[in-house]
Amino acid sequence: MKNYFLILLFTLPFVSCETTESELTSSETNYFNKKSQELLPLNPANSFDFVGQVHYAISNSYFTDSNLPKTIDSIVYQVNLKAGIHPFFDDFLSTDYNLVSKSRITYLVSDPHTAFDSIVDDLPLNTTAKNDFRLFVETVLSKVDNDVDYIDIHNYVVLYESTIQDSGQLSASEKEYLLTVTSIIRHSVYAKKKRPKKNTDLDWYWLGAKFTGAVEGAQYGKSHAILSALKAGIIENR
């Protein structure tokens, strides 16, 4: 059984906060901005927020190395290595690290927009949920491209997450899938704001590859969502 207490210690030393965007009044917004920065990018109301935290921690560990790998093979190897030392992956089988194959990751990176649409089309979600999810991702990317403050993007993601949690049209497994992906998205945008991309591609292609990796991997479980998002995002931005 996963030791989630260790996971939280390994990732971000944050304190829980139950406030969501929908609960904030205009008079409370400034206080939130000034006093709650240390809580970002968490959303304790998301039961699967630990997925984004693990993703964020492994990403930070990866980029602390002085000599970063450049080839696809070496990036995949290094991501697997970094994941393997995180407590979340203690019980993960070595044969499962590449369940989403290198060739599949390469395809996701080569055309993340098309791959994203194709994956979402095949998800076992109702049409409304698919359309809402597409709009959510497009809106997040648009906000990033327009250099919207992270806290505003964070609140937008949290609001979308609350609609998922409150939905009576989604099953528990469908909610788990979407909330796993949104957690990675929220933490990834936060990381992007702290670590600008190295190449000259539009943010869609950098974050789009990472988001698409998460959407792909989450079909096979939370661990695969983390691994696929990391590999796709790092390979695209090498």
Cβ contacts of residue 57 below 8 Å, gap of 6+? Answer: 10, 11, 12, 86
What single string gives the DSSP state of each residue in 51-95? HHHHHHHHHHHHHTSSS---SHHHHHHHHHHHHHTSGGGTT--GG
What global pTM score does this model have? 0.82
Residue 167 has a CB neighbour count (10 Å cut-off) of: 15
Q: Rounded distance, CA 167 to CA 112, Å?
A: 28
Over residues 124-183, the pLDDT tens digits come to 999 999 999 999 999 999 999 898 999 999 999 999 999 999 999 999 999 999 999 999
**44-53, 90-99, 134-143, 193-202: least confident range:** 193-202
Tokens matching residue 214: 């998460």
Q: Of 119, 124, 121, give the one whose Cα is nearest residue 104.
A: 119
Check whether 71 has a pLDDT greater than 50. yes
pLDDT of residue 24: 40
- Which tokens in the block code for residue 41? 């990018």
CA–CA gap between residue 153 and residue 133 (Å, rounded) = 15
Structure tokens, 32: 């939130």
Distances from the Cα of 74 to the Cαs of 13, 78, 97, 128, 238, in angstroms? 30, 6, 14, 40, 11
Asked if 44 contacts 23 with a C-beta cutoff of 8 angstroms, the reply is no
Which tokens in the block code for residue 9?
């210690």
**CA-to-CA distance for 189 and 57, rounded, in angstroms?**
14
Distance from chain centroid for Cα 44: 15
Residue 161 Cα distances to 20, 167, 173, 185, 186, angstroms:
10, 10, 14, 11, 10
CA distance 99 to 218: 12
pLDDT of 95 reads 87
Could you read off the pLDDT of 77-124 as tens digits, one per residue? 999 999 999 999 998 988 899 999 999 999 999 999 999 999 999 999
Assign 39 a pLDDT band (cuts: 50, 70, 90).
Answer: confident
Question: In 3D, which of 77, 82, 88 has the Cα closest to residue 65?
Answer: 82
For residue 213, give both structure tokens: 């990796």
Instruction: Convert the pLDDT of each residue in 214-233 to its tens digit.
Output: 999 999 999 999 999 999 99
